[in-house]
Structure 1
């Protein structure tokens, strides 16, 4: 994930479950729901569910007894203990009763299998759409709505919003052949739904306290016949000690629709840039970024921007430290390649300075696979 490719990121605080988490659907008191949970080695249970009408998660915490029954509490604080939901295995599904804190009487629960998990932890199983079976069921009830059209660098961009999460992304509406726009827009829709799911996942970690925040702004940076480049800036608080933020840019090769890597634009290593990674997408030279690319960025920015490298408040932001330059956070501008920086939490105000641009004239001296096709 870039930091999510944070477009999902999922916010650093999501529960890390170790056991398999099958996904179940059914009814609680006649209302359609989708549930998933994991049973840990010590018999404790963690999970979540949502009502199909409302889509937002309710956290589940509890235990499994010797007979296999689950006794679960909803949105419990760390010092709370309460049973709101009891589930017993029956045939290929589950039956039980729900009695929330304000319920006047118990409501029947019946669940059947929706999707079998093959991985550990809930939300881990992803399909071609990048969504877990649980989140796929959630977004199936959601619809995007048009949110206006704007012209950017000569291209018409049609904006679409998902009303519950308020996640807003654009589609390309002019400037490319129809088949090309269809391919690009399919990729953009993919990332928008992942962002919608990330927003709901963030909310789940808050356990019903209403304190979460997940906002995202997609900022077009450069559109040309060859590339579509944008920032994806996300601010989020998903429980824990502090809110956080990041920019997870997306750079699309128009010809293929694939998400580009930095070596497509800038290459400082040995051999050809198209041979930089193996079949699994890993850099063949594990030391390339830390030993070659990041030191070069720090040295180059030191020459280009000596005053800014000292930080706005003296040496508060140490941009001379090669490790802060983030090879996974970059986007394209008409003037060149913007490179991001990443600092520890106490210095996060230093992240992604607006001045860290590599001019095209310099980039072309270290060309990647697509550099000749760029501005």
Structure 2
């Protein structure tokens, strides 16, 4: 995993060095408002070009291949198979792009694009990478609508969907205190926004997005007066070579709004750290030397894992697969799911460890009992 993060660092560093220019544009295609990101890369006397755009009324990305005819003339096209279904011919003049869009039947519409004025889209939403800056635009146009109400432990949760895509999530409703709702609902809304933007950005070069490239399922698994636990499971197919899936566990303090990671809850050694962003070396060392081995020992005592005779069978005795196990805080204990390499992802099964088996490993800083 450490090598994986190092690879990502080097990848983004290389892109930053080679990258010549990114344009964030807004304007019109015929009578429609569109937004476009144009990326120009130069390396070893070669230039590559791609673009992504979306309509204001749909917010779903359309990925385009590109060709730079000269320094100011750009050609973009969407080619899901052998046929080009749409194309842009744009000329750059100053900071603006003007030209025409054509469909597969050569219908022509005028295009005018100019730099996005991000002052019109200011928000508190944090964007991690520069090439996702147009998320600020999408965020402004998101529309959530109440869909249903459910009960869990006699508490009411209201579920919302988003107008432009297949994305739903919950908020706290009746039987929760006003303090709980005021503190926690903005956190839940932020998670919903992040999941929605991921869905809208899930685009393929092979077909137009229907806003369903990421199939999500959220389950509430724990609730008492202090803590809310739930799991978000996702399967995504955004046009890459292989679809993928995964899950994330959440545990939120209803009194203070803190989101606990698994290292905030359990400590198999005093060197425990959940601060992977600011101190990844210490985090990785703890996971390598203590977390994986102790977690495997505990689960093996319950499940009686044996090393398989066949290399093709799932080997749950390998501590490597438990270093970054997914987790899910439930009423009966914590479920752990080992993380396998891609070809063995079907081995990713969840195993429950009752709270009683974990109590002596509770992180001293975690303010609640494991029960």
TM-score tier after normalising by the smaller chain length? 0.7 to 0.9
**Match of 1:66?**
70
Q: TM-score, normalised by structure 1?
A: 0.81
- Worse-superposed segment, 329-338 or 283-292: 283-292
5+ residue gaps, structure 2, are: 2-14
Displacement, 1:40?
0.9
Query: Structure 1 residues 339 and 204, CA, compared in 2 at 3 Å: closer, same or farther?
Result: same
**Match of 1:320?**
317
5+ residue gaps, structure 1, are: 2-15, 117-125
For 1:287-306, what aligned pairs fall within 5 Å after superposition?
A: 287-306=285-304
Contact kept in structure 1, 2:76 and 2:87, CA below 8 Å: yes
Q: TM-score, normalised by structure 2?
A: 0.82
Counterpart check, 1:337 vs 2:334: yes
Q: Distance in 2 between matches of 1:141 and 1:109?
A: 22
Counterpart check, 1:148 vs 2:148: yes
Query: Structure 1 residues 330 and 128, CA, compared in 2 at 3 Å: closer, same or farther?
Result: farther
**Match of 2:50?**
46
Q: Distance in 2 between matches of 1:278 and 1:74?
A: 39
**Match of 1:28?**
29
**Match of 2:8?**
none
- Worse-superposed segment, 287-296 or 325-334: 325-334
Query: Structure 1 residues 257 and 210, CA, compared in 2 at 3 Å: closer, same or farther?
Result: closer
Displacement, 1:364?
1.7
Q: Distance in 2 between matches of 1:222 and 1:300?
A: 22
Counterpart check, 1:96 vs 2:91: no
Partner of 1:370: helix, strand, or coil?
coil
Q: Distance in 2 between matches of 1:102 and 1:209?
A: 21
Query: Structure 1 residues 76 and 46, CA, compared in 2 at 3 Å: closer, same or farther?
Result: farther
Alpha carbon RMSD of aligned pairs, Å? 3.1
Counterpart check, 1:133 vs 2:136: no
For residues 327-367 of structure 1, the C-alpha deviation after alignment (integer angstroms, 9 at most, x for no partner) is 452121122222221112232221132xx222222222012
Q: Distance in 1 between matches of 2:255 and 2:342?
A: 38
Partner of 1:303: helix, strand, or coil?
helix
Query: Structure 1 residues 24 and 215, CA, compared in 2 at 3 Å: closer, same or farther?
Result: same
**Match of 2:113?**
111
Contact kept in structure 2, 1:342 and 1:352, CA below 8 Å: no
Q: Distance in 2 between matches of 1:205 and 1:128?
A: 31
Contact kept in structure 1, 2:232 and 2:248, CA below 8 Å: yes
Higher helix share: 2
Displacement, 1:292?
1.0
Contact kept in structure 1, 2:23 and 2:37, CA below 8 Å: yes
Counterpart check, 1:363 vs 2:365: no
